[in-house]
Amino acid sequence: MEMENKIYKKGTFWERLFALIIDEIILFVVTIILSLLLSQIADDLTNLVFWVLSILYGTFFIWKSGSTPGKKLFKLKVVNSSYQPLGLGAALLRESVGKLLSGLIFNLGYLWVLINGKRQAWHDKLAKTFVVKTDKTGALIPVEADEKVTTGQKATFALLFLIFGLPVPLAMVFTVVYLFVAQPFQIAGQAMSPNYVNGQYYLANKLTYKSAEPVRGDVVVFKAPKDQDKDFIKRIIGVPDDKVSLQNGMVYVNSQPLNESSYLKGDVQTVGGAFLQEGQEVTVPANQYFVLGDNRPFSSDSREWGFVPKENMIGKIGLCYYKCEL
């Protein structure tokens, strides 16, 4: 019972970090060897194999000796709250659920060692363990009290969180914005000049058409009908049920000449293409749109390949955020 009343020296954050790196290198090599020997392991299962091996590796060594090879090198040992060896259940809890928790929440669980007086990570707290220092004989090193957390350690915690932890939530925010709110788009080519110039960067607003239908005159980004890997930018000319025709170099919608003076400068002639020829009239189907580029002579658009389905729409062109002065 004497050991329970004593306090023993804890391993530092940096000692634990370098020990972890050594263990990760060992596990990586073992995983690669297994992948080569068992060629039937699919590439997408390699990460799962590595994770399972990590749990088994840590659990076995900590249960048997209190130290993984990496920890042995730095004279570190994992003990329970009474400074006694861990049982199998506690070792498994620490190395599986505990480490998953420490790494899942933006790596805060691992960094917590820096600002915790007892040098406990979240997986230590969950399994009620300490990582202590040992001497050359393997004995624990008694101390008067646990070291106090210094200002420097707090600053290191903040810095490491900014470097390793903060990018995770930022990446999550970026992913949500990219998938549901706005998507970056670079103008490529001259099809929309001079209004939208080659090399400029815009955000396509994905929310606009969640609550409203596209209207004539909107400039939209969409998946190219003939190549879904390409994104196009064009102006909507015809909406569902519109009758679109080309006559004498002008665009007619519902038998009326379309006023395009706000975005077409000078005497721009709109000639026909493979899909819509001069003098021909087409009716825009439901949930589809007829689109044209502002620079008609240099635009591949609905005159050539037909209508754009609404499902291909990415969003309405919005803010220019780079090279806007072009």
CATH number at residue 280: 2.10.109.10
Q: Which of 165, 189, 220 is the last residue of a domain?
A: 165
Q: Both 196 and 282 in a single domain?
A: yes
Q: Is the pTM of this model over 0.85?
A: no
- Identity of the highest mean pLDDT range in 28-42, 147-161, 308-322: 308-322
On whether both 150 and 231 belong to a single domain, the answer is no
Residues 124 and 233 occupy one common structural domain = no
Which range (34-38, 137-141, 240-244) has the least confidence?
34-38
Do 152 and 60 have their domain in common?
Answer: yes
**Does the pLDDT at position 48 exceed 90?**
no
| 171 within a domain of the structure (yes/no) | no
Q: Is 193 contained in some domain?
A: yes
Per the domain annotation, does 284 fall within a domain?
yes
Q: Is the pLDDT of residue 1 over 70?
A: no
String of DSSP letters for 264-292: --SS------SSS-TT-EEEPPTTEEEEE
User: How many helices and strands, by DSSP H and E, does the chain display?
Assistant: 11, 15
In a domain, 170, yes or no: no
- Same domain (yes/no): 33, 132: yes
Does the pLDDT value for residue 38 go beyond 80?
no
- In the chain, the number of structural domains is 2
Helix (H) or strand (E) holding 129, with range, is strand 129-133
Residue pair 180/157 in contact by the 8 Å Cβ criterion:
no
Give the domain range for residue 60.
Answer: 3-165
Beta strands 256-257 and 250-253, pairing class: antiparallel
Residue 172 maps to a domain = no
pLDDT for 80-131, tens place per residue?
999 999 999 999 999 999 999 998 877 889 999 999 999 999 999 999 999 9
Residue 266: pLDDT above 80? no
